[in-house]
Amino acid sequence: MTRLGQGLFLLVLVVRSALGAEPEHLGVTAGVSRDSYMISSTFTGTEIVVFGGIEAAQGGVLASREGIDVAVVVFGPEQHVTVRRKERVAGLWINRTAERFERMLAYYYAAATADIATLAPPDVLASRGVGLDGMLKPVRAAAEPFRDAIVRRKQADLLYVEKPGGVTFLSSSVFRATIPLPAQVPVGDYTIKVFAFKNGQLAGGTSVPFAIDKEGIERWTYELATKRAWAYAALSVLGALLAGWVAYIAFRERH
């Protein structure tokens, strides 16, 4: 080896020593029990079962599961949310201040084989949206109470859930997670992201899409309200007028 080669080799050793060992790469595969769900007026909620496996680099057999954790995160469709704060003015409660949040997730679920905060450093979790703290984007101080109100409401409706221990290993490499979809789950496109961590470092991941949609008269009404708002408004007014007219006729005949 030439002196130049020896120098480069020593330089690589010094850099690796300064930066630490490179993270081990793991292969991750995952699938869901169904890739689409239809909901109607009788929908009371359901569950999605996620199965997956962990492989060593290059598809080899995993020698040991020691130090390996898995997180399963579900990202729902985005929505715009406006939160208003009521204040008492002259004896009346009125809306005084408001905050609008763009691209808030309508549904979010995060489960892991361990406490989510212990999987990796906070910046790594935040970069992948793992855990509520990692998913929520920073906002200015004045807007934090409004955003926190959204989070509390969605947690109460089971639309924002964080579940340590919600992912279990069935063998040394196969894992399983059950994701609840409450009755009020919004329609739209969803993405399940699975992350593998090894000794506190992100080692691999994959994603699986699925969709939730309405069926029957609910689907027709939803599409009319979202895609043809003017027609939906007109039909609503006509329906109200018709109901009022029928009530008037019935009342007049009885008296």
Q: pLDDT by residue (tens digit) across 15-57? A: 333 444 456 788 999 999 888 888 887 888 999 999 999 988 7
List alpha helices for the chain, DSSP H: 3-19, 122-128, 132-135, 144-156, 217-227, 229-254
Lowest mean pLDDT: which of 15-24, 116-125, 231-240? 15-24
Strand arrangement, sheet containing 188-198: 36-39, 201-214, 188-198, 68-75, 108-112, 160-164
**Single-letter amino acid code for the residue at 91:** G
Lowest mean pLDDT: which of 38-42, 157-161, 174-178, 205-209? 38-42
Topology, domain 25-74+107-215: Immunoglobulin-like (2.60.40)
Place 245 in a pLDDT band, splitting at 50, 70 and 90: low
Q: Does residue 164 sit in helix, strand or coil?
A: strand
* C-alpha distance across the termini of the chain, in Å: 110
Residue ranges of the domains in the chain?
Answer: 25-74+107-215, 216-255
> How much of the chain, in percent, has pLDDT values that exceed 70?
73
Contact 204, 194 (CB under 8 A): no
Please give the mean pLDDT across all residues of the chain. Answer: 81
> How much of the chain, in percent, has pLDDT values that exceed 90?
47
Distances (CA, A) of 2 to 6, 7, 9, 16, 109: 6, 9, 11, 21, 56
Instruction: Give 140 or 254, the one with higher predicted confidence.
Output: 140
Dihedral sign (CA 132, 133, 137, 139): positive
Segment 124-153 shows an average pLDDT of: 91
CA distance 176 to 178: 7
User: What pLDDT is attached to residue 93?
Assistant: 75
CB atoms within 10 A of CB 230: 7
**Single-letter amino acid code for the residue at 225:** A
Which pLDDT tens digit goes with each residue over 100-111? 888 899 999 999
